Amino acid sequence: MGIWIGDRISTEDHADSTTVIIYPKLQGWKRWLLTVWVVGFTFIGGVMIYLLAGGVYSLEVVGDNVEDIRDQQLVYLIVFLGFWMYFEYKTVKALLWYSFGKEFIKLDRDALSHKRAILGYGKSVRYFYENMKDMHLFKSDNTSFGQFFENAYWSLGTDAVIFTYFTKDKSFGRRLDEKTGKLLIRFIEDRIKTLRKKK
């Protein structure tokens, strides 16, 4: 039988491994608001793409320099669509993550495997214990605009747990609070010690 850490992390011990699943969490009204935003934003982008593909020339333009005005409209559309594509990608990815995403962690005798998956699709990465060190909580800076931007409800959010693998920082535990993050680190460290003794 599995053990839950908080209300977002389920764990289960097996004979030679332990599995951890971290579920995303977003309040219902925020998910609906994000859905409405994505639908509306996608519609606006579709209209702009139509205009860029030739519809701008069907618009009535009042003025003496019609060609200059149309050229300015084209430049505006191209710049707008550049920003639109960035935010469309971010919000659609976030909506899919909150609706169908999970983080999978598997601990065995030799390594920790981590996979972020949407509808089961994602790449699993394996980290061998002897090359891992200094697992700790991410220290957030509440005054940082970048932190605020990354943790907005329409974004994926930052990871709570960080460790060093060789010389690079790796992370997992998206949007976990401090208490849950500490409990998860303690659980993982305990299971790693237990599993390595079985070698």
Beta strands in 74-178 (DSSP E): 101-107, 111-118, 124-128, 132-137, 159-165, 168-174
- What is the domain count for the chain? 1
Q: What is the pLDDT of residue 142?
A: 64
Q: What is the pLDDT of residue 144?
A: 64
Give me the average pLDDT of each 10-residue run along the chain (199 residues).
87 94 84 91 89 64 64 82 92 91 95 94 94 89 64 79 94 92 95 85
Q: Which amino acid is at 64?
A: D
Sign of CA dihedral 4, 185, 118, 19: negative
CA distance 70 to 53: 13
Determine if the pTM surpasses 0.85. no
Residue 170's beta-bridge partner residues?
163
Nearest CA among 175, 187, 180 for reference residue 27:
175
**Domain of residue 100, residue span:** 1-199
**For residue range 70-114, what is the model confidence (pLDDT) as tens digits?**
777 778 888 999 999 999 998 999 999 999 999 999 999 999 999
- 160, 181 contact by CB (below 8 A): yes
> Burial level of 160, CB count in 10 A (0-12/13-18/19+)?
buried
Nearest CA among 21, 19, 110 for reference residue 8:
21
Q: What is the pLDDT of residue 56?
A: 58
Could you tell me whether strands 168-174 and 159-165 are parallel, antiparallel, or unpaired per DSSP bridges? antiparallel
Q: What is the pLDDT of residue 173?
A: 93
CA distance 97 to 110: 29
